Amino acid sequence: MTLKRLIFLAAAAYILVVGGGLLIYRILIAYPELEQLTLESHKGDIRAIKSTYEGELNHLKLFNSDWAKWDETYAFLNGQDPGYIERNINSDSFINSNVDIVSIYDSQKRHILTGKTTGAGLELLTDLSELTNDIHLDTVLNRDEVCALIRLGKRIGYFCSNSVQDSEETNPSNGTLIFIRMIDNSIIQRLQNLTDSQISLRSYDNEQHSIVIPPSLDNLPLTDGRYHFPLLNGKNIPIGVLNIHYQKEQLPVLIDKNTIISILAMLMLPILITIFVYYFFLKPMTTIFSNIGTMNKTGKLQNISIHTHIAEIDAFTANFNLFIQQIKQYQQKLESESNTDGLTNLFNRRYFDHQYDEMWRAVSRTGNSISIVMMDIDFFKKYNDHYGHQKGDDALKAVASKLKTVSRRANETLARYGGEEFVLITESLSKKELEDMLANIINSIETLNLEHKPSPISDHLTISCGACYIENPGSWMKDKKEQALKIADDSLYEAKENGRNQFIIHPLSNQSTNSKY
């Protein structure tokens, strides 16, 4: 065998082993990991879209509830307020809200009014066939609250309905109020900016479809970057489809340009390329994909700290790190939005539930005392009715800001529980310290000097508090978490019944003692 042939065979063997090895590594290890990472990113985008929709739906739900549980709406359906439509529904503030269509039924399921908000005011609608295609009237009119998707012609929207009652919700319902909002280009554009994808909606034009079960994200394939999700109405019947499309450049490629260049270079200089590939290509790439594999296994995203003399690898690392930062920013943004109340910037009910569970477990082990405090602004509905919802929102912000100054300890969690109600959990307080803190809360709200003329107890805004105090926690309280929350809520109710602008404390026991401010 000649040296030339030996060198040729050695070079050929090297090319087959190293070049083939690189191809196998790319196909069997690197590419699947990139696919999985891309798929997880797409799943995160889809969850973000779902979360954004749920946020918009909750906003409409709260807005609908505020109008349905209102004395003026209740009086209108009782025939006592003939000017209600012109004064409220046809007002500029309502016309400029996010509600596109409003529909009202009385307690006998008779249609009272349906209108579409336009720049010129409320335009009454007489043809309700499109509305009733996707709104199951028997369900809507017989339940206190219903929210679902709806199809109107070639557009998709969502609606929320609520039974109409007085502001205090003491009288029986006398009808149903339905608000509809259509999904417009601004919502689509916001979702596209959030996910860096192309998003579109298509309505099924009133075709009949069978009831379906929504697909699970757990079994979502990567495909070609195109995802299609059925949009279901309240009957779980498809009324349209949500299309999500990623550009081809955003998807992983089986054999990329860098891999091809590396193999061609090894054909010309097999020995030198062996050294080059090992020190300048294989080693850093192995490190990169090892880090990606670790991220995939642990679920913890982190930057890849590596620098080479190959522009493509460094560019990949830089782009990958940028991609990781974007994902982290999306995660932080979603976590912040999911844990924070948008109006008051306090923690929301979801975050409180999590922290309450964590603190409950902790004090069960440590034996530190724990206090659960429920707070409610006195006669806030009257405040809203008298001063308007904008002033009501300003009052909620002011109260929240003041409560923050009272609650400053690291082991305390202050949250907006819902509406005008707030909740505070704290540990390691004596009962006397808890009483002093509640007295301070009540005095602090009074010092805001927010005028409240409709209040029958004070000329200024006041607050009532109810607390559950557990002095000696332990393993005995394992299953009493909900009971403690109910005791705090009942104490708040008792404070309101006793005249408001005060606090009541009850311990977690059958022999309770009260402390009244």
Fold equal for 67-250 and 349-507: no
- Cβ atoms of 383 and 454 closer than 8 Å: yes
Residue 504 has which token pair? Answer: 């009541």
Cα separation of the two ends of the chain: 105
Phi then psi for residue 340, to 5 deg, are -115, 140
Rounding to the nearest 10 degrees, give the CA dihedral for residues 330, 332, 338, 341.
Answer: -120
Q: What is the model's pLDDT at position 42? A: 86
- Report which residue type is found at 133: N
- How far is 120 from 451, CA to CA, in rounded Å? 36
Q: Where are the beta strands (DSSP E) in 153-203?
A: 155-163, 175-182, 198-203
Between vectors from CA 386 to CA 385 and to CA 390, what angle results, nearest 5°? 75
Q: What is the model's pLDDT at position 6? A: 55
Residue 221 has which token pair? Answer: 């394939």
**CATH dotted code for 67-250:** 3.30.450.20
Q: What does the DSSP 8-state code read for residue 346?
A: S
Residue 55 has which token pair? Answer: 């946020």
Q: What is the model's pLDDT at position 279? A: 65
Q: What is the model's pLDDT at position 516? A: 44
> Closest Cα partner for 174 from 119, 107, 129?
107
- How far is 262 from 264, CA to CA, in rounded Å? 6
- How far is 89 from 104, CA to CA, in rounded Å? 11
> Closest Cα partner for 308 from 263, 346, 348, 278?
278
- Cβ atoms of 338 and 52 closer than 8 Å: no
Q: What is the model's pLDDT at position 517? A: 42
**CATH dotted code for 349-507:** 3.30.70.270
Strand partners, 371: 426, 469
- Cβ atoms of 222 and 136 closer than 8 Å: no
Residue 24 has which token pair? Answer: 């196998």
Residue entry with tokens 């808890």:
434
Helix (H/G/I), strand (E/B), else coil: 507: strand
Residue entry with tokens 């954004």:
52
Enumerate residues 6+ apart whose C-beta is below 8 A from 133: 151, 206
- Domain locations in the chain as residue ranges: 3-40+251-321, 67-250, 349-507
> Closest Cα partner for 202 from 188, 215, 222, 186?
188
- How far is 118 from 496, CA to CA, in rounded Å? 43
pLDDT means over runs of 10, the chain (517 residues): 56 73 81 83 88 92 94 93 91 89 92 89 85 81 90 89 94 94 89 88 72 66 81 85 86 76 70 63 73 77 76 78 75 70 90 91 88 95 94 94 85 90 91 93 94 93 95 84 93 94 85 45
- How far is 313 from 300, CA to CA, in rounded Å? 22
- How far is 280 from 283, CA to CA, in rounded Å? 7
> Closest Cα partner for 379 from 172, 170, 173, 167?
167
In DSSP notation, 52-65 reads: HHHHHHHHHHHHHH
- How far is 470 from 277, CA to CA, in rounded Å? 66
Enumerate residues 6+ apart whose C-beta is below 8 A from 321: 303, 304
- Residues designated as active site: 420
Q: What is the model's pLDDT at position 196? A: 85
Neighbour count for residue 134 (Cβ, 10 Å): 21
> Closest Cα partner for 350 from 359, 340, 360?
340
